[in-house]
Structure 1
Amino acid sequence: MPRAVRPGRPVARCRTRSDTPRVWDSPTHVRAFGGGRYRVVAPSLLPRTWICFDESRREECLVSHVSLSALGSWRPVEEQSREAEALRRFRARGLFEFGEAIEQEAGGDCAFVLVRRGEPGRAVQDRTRAGWRPTEDQLRAVAVQLLEVLDLVARRGGVWTHPLDAQSVRLTDDGTAKLPGAMTGGTEEESAAAAARQMLGLGLLLRSLSEQAGLGAGSPARAMPPDLRWLLDACLQGAEKERPTPAEALERMRLLQNAGFSAQAPALVPRPLGLAPVQQPAACEVRTVGPRLEIVVPPERDVHAFAFGVAWTAFTAFWTVSAWQGGGVLFALFSLPFWTAGVSLLAKTLRRPFVW
């Protein structure tokens, strides 16, 4: 008979992997869970996960199962237990609700089953292959809902176990994006690094969906909205430190959306801390010298470099004069490279021309 599972509880009566037949790792053997209450309807793209029908509640749900005979370690069992605890404690629009955890025995094997409540929906990959093309509002809703889940995990200082990709993210018929998985504990550095990796996954997912929607394909009428364009560019930054946190991304998207700018207008709202644009030098000089066009860009914030160049050149001059007066001609000539470095530094701080 099925029993509720307490995470971490050892099962001494289950046999080892070597002498136990595999009875839970194929759809032909996974007939029903919980004494016939859960009936398998269709497989899922997630590993060891099935879409089942709850006979008592008359609704579909998402069921994951792991069996000792098909495992090389207890890690999948522990991950599923952590997901059950996470679903018990947290509530978010992009998360499934906790149904129950079941231990099922059959044919000498033990299976651990986790039931997630809520409409299972379909994986994003399945919907796009079936011809689904998201609108701008649907694309924005998917991004915001997934950011809310990542922000919830980041505020708890945890790490999300499942990757954020087209196979994991599921979409329901009402447009809700759900991310199955579990939250594990971690240090502040591990949590920040995991959030940055998930933001990259979100950027890749949005880029794929935007291509399906035909956004940013060169037509002004189908140009990507400024909030989605910013989110896509920010998530696809190469360095993890350059990607925004989920909270920063949510705030930035709200500012851009509320500003109401058109797709062609620049974003004039203030950026979150750490995302401010780099100031460009002003008062550039453009002049024509014969057949050349010479653009001189004045120095910007080079006061310290100029002071260092003056000090360097003064010390080099004192050294050269002292060596020359002391009869050390070779030492005086040895200072020529230092003269070149000092003069070059001063010249760069005074003028930096670009010639075409």
Structure 2
Amino acid sequence: MNPGDIIGTYVLDRRLGKGVTASTWLAHLAQDTPSAAAGNERSENGAAENQPERISATHPESPPNNAPTSPPVVLKIFDLAETSSWKPLDQFKREAEILRTLNHPRIPKYIESFDLAQGGHFEFVLVMQYIEGETIESHVSSGKKFTEAHIEQMLAELADILAYIGSLRPPIVHRDINPRNLILQPDGHVALVDFSGVQDAIRSALYPGATLVGTAGYIPVEQVSGRATHRSDLYGAAATAVFMLTGRNPAELPMRNLKIDLSGLLYLSPGLAYVLGNWLDPDQDRRFLSAAKAAAILRGEEPVPTAALASSPSNARSSENTRNIESLQSSRRALISHILSEPDTGRESVDYPAELPSDSRLEIQPLDPGLYIKLPRGKRAGSSSGFAFFPIVWLGFVFFWTTMTLRMRAPMFFPLFSIPFWIAGVAMLKSFLKPSITDTELFITPDGLLKKSSSFISNSAQQYAISDVGTAKVQRSSVQLNNRYLKELAIEAGTGTLTFGLGLSDRELYYLEKRINEELEKLKKLPRE
């Protein structure tokens, strides 16, 4: 097809895009061009025998012909010869049927659809309203920037669209919210286009995994596994806002706990931070914020929930700086990091046990002067199969992500992006299994502190002069089990910290803290030779 070709009653002006099986063209009614009459005369004289034959129309009404000039339209043309299966045709016809039922100012209006037989090819044509503007992707790629207020406005308008299609029965799932499918109009508003991947929520729930539709970086976990829901579109909307904020595909940004980490890149208003923090959650059950309420929050019509503001570190700042806070998720992480970096709370109220539990496997022997402590290999608190379950799930998800990106033929940086997660998963699994295969010994003598670890895999030792050894404290570790952080003993040694006893019970750890600190105090009072 070329500009000037006639498709049905339309003349092609220029091609807007080309997919695998369909192309999109800007067109106008053939009756609106001066050459149309001449074309009709040539047809009567037999000079236009190759004009396509219009077979059927799924819309009984034809576009108005009485106006000298009609608005331009968009023709989406599907060529059956370009596909090897019926599934793309099914998606194409589903898009036409869905657009017929939609009525929203930010969604292109359906005009008509029909079939053509042309040059031995069968083509299916969808005619819809042309929305003037450029895509968000092309706007950002050209080097232009958005203000945060404009991003809030556009995200609120997108939320209005999602609230509308989500209110239909059954709800409609777009499945491909990304910067290429959002048109920035000359007046600054946005419109959502390309409903080729659309599916109703009932179909998605009953027939999961049939077709993977979406753009890498803008689809959540449940959509990768074929179970897209209305909340999957919320994730795509938030990821698109991240692209507008950073100019980068969200998959290129750092992640923490499987969630896009914006803490080191952005300072956001409370409303935008709250919406993004909720909608970017990898667990769809935690994306509880409705599109309608998100739009109200972004427009300032509803306040940001108090819980979100309370968890923000900017709570104590002046009102002028309140808008410059990090995202809600970043604040939560900062709070957790603060807790982990502090010694165990409530230490003054700790009652140190007088002796070890009777079933403890710790071996403690006085050296006169000094102390010997041995933690034998074997099952310990927290080293059960449940403890190692998290790294196994982690590695399983990373494997799933890597294989799916390869199957989707995504750019190579997407599977390469998973390498740090592979490393982290293997490190976690190794640290979780290590207590079951390692004997750990502590020697505290006038000469210093020696920690030895031995297993059938490797042996290691760490030694510090007694003058370089500080106090021992029980602290929270970075390892979580059953929604509770495990504890370990941390001994100040040199410029760092020597840890011991991950997964021991509280009574064992506090007993060790008391004994080690008492012994260190005695050793430091001994006269030096």
CA distance change for structure 1 residues 251 and 286 in 2, over 3 Å: closer, same or farther?
farther
Match of 2:323 among 260, 263, 273: 263
CA offsets per residue over residues 181-224 of structure 1, 9 Å max, x none? Answer: 064334298398422322222222111101149xx8979xx832
Match of 2:244 in 1: 209
Aligned mates of 2:87, 2:238 — CA distance in 1: 29
The 8 Å contact of residues 159 and 195 in structure 1, kept in 2 or not, is answered as yes
The 1-side partners of 2:176 and 2:101 are apart by 21
Q: Does 1:111 align with 2:155?
A: no
C-alpha separation in 1, matches of 2:78 and 2:199: 19
Q: Is residue 184 of structure 1 aligned with residue 199 of structure 2?
A: yes
Q: What's the CA shift for 1:162?
A: 4.7
Residues 81-160 of structure 1 aligned to structure 2 (within 5 Å): 81-156=93-168, 157-160=170-173
- In the alignment, the residues of structure 1 paired with residue 326 and residue 175 of structure 2 have an alpha-carbon distance, to the nearest angstrom, of 36
Mapped to 2, the partners of 1:80 and 1:45 lie a distance apart of 14
The amino acid across from 1:235 in the alignment is W
When residues 92 and 137 of structure 1 are mapped into structure 2, their CA distance, relative to the original with a 3 A threshold, is farther
In structure 2, the residue matched to 1:226 is 270
Q: Distance in 2 between matches of 1:212 and 1:296?
A: 41
TM-score (norm 2): 0.42
Could you state the TM-score of these two structures normalised by the residue count of structure 1?
0.59
Partner of residue 281, structure 2: 237
> Would the alpha carbon gap of residues 242 and 45 (structure 1) be closer, same or farther in structure 2, given more than 3 Å must change?
farther
Q: What displacement does 1:101 show?
A: 0.9
Q: For residue 196 of structure 1, what is the amino acid of its counterpart?
A: R
Q: CA 1:188–1:152 in structure 2 vs 1: closer, same or farther (change >3 Å)?
A: farther
Distance 1:30 1:106, change over 3 A: farther
Q: Does structure 1 residue 33 correspond to structure 2 residue 7?
A: yes
Specify the structure having the higher radius of gyration (Cα). 2
Which residue matches 1:11?
A: none
Gaps of 5+ in 2: 33-68, 207-226, 249-261, 305-318, 328-335, 340-344, 351-469, 477-504, 514-529
Report how far residue 143 of structure 1 moved.
1.1
What letter corresponds to residue 124 of structure 2 in structure 1?
F
Report the AA paired with residue 263 of structure 1: R
With over 3 angstroms needed to count, the CA separation of the structure-2 counterparts of 1:58 and 1:134, relative to structure 1, is: farther
Amino acid aligned to 2:187: D
Q: Which residue of 2 aligns with 1:200?
A: 235
Higher relative contact order (CA 8 A, sep 6+): 1
Q: Distance in 1 between matches of 2:240 and 2:326?
A: 25
CA displacement at 1:287 relative to structure 2: 4.8
CA distance in 1, matches of 2:230, 2:24: 27
**Secondary structure of residue in 1 paired with 2:229:** helix
Counterpart selection for 1:73 from 74, 85, 90: 85
Q: CA deviation at 1:117?
A: 0.7
Contact 1:195 1:245 in 2 (8 A): no
State whether residues 196 and 240 of structure 1, in contact with CA within 8 Å, keep that contact through their aligned partners in structure 2.
Answer: yes
Contact 2:175/2:232 (<8 A) preserved? no
- CA root-mean-square deviation: 4.4
Counterpart residue identity of residue 95, structure 1: I
| 247-256 or 118-127, which deviates more | 247-256
Shift of 1:43: 2.4
**Worse overlay, 248-257 or 237-246:** 248-257
Q: 5+ residue gaps in structure 1?
A: 1-26, 268-277, 298-343
How far 1:293 sits from its partner (Å)? Answer: 10
**SS of the counterpart of 2:179?**
coil
Identify if the C-alpha distance between structure 1 residues 254 and 167 changes in structure 2 by more than 3 Å, giving closer, same or farther.
closer
Residue pair 2:28, 2:71 contacting (<8 A) in 1 also = yes
1:296: Cα distance to partner?
A: 10
2:137 and 2:164 map into 1 onto residues whose CA distance is: 25
- Structure 1 residues 172, 234: closer, same or farther in 2, change over 3 A? same
Separation (CA, whole Å) in 2 of partners of 1:286 and 1:229 = 35
Distance 1:251 1:203 in 2: 12
Structure 2 CA distance for partners of 1:296 and 1:249, relative to 1, 3 Å:
farther
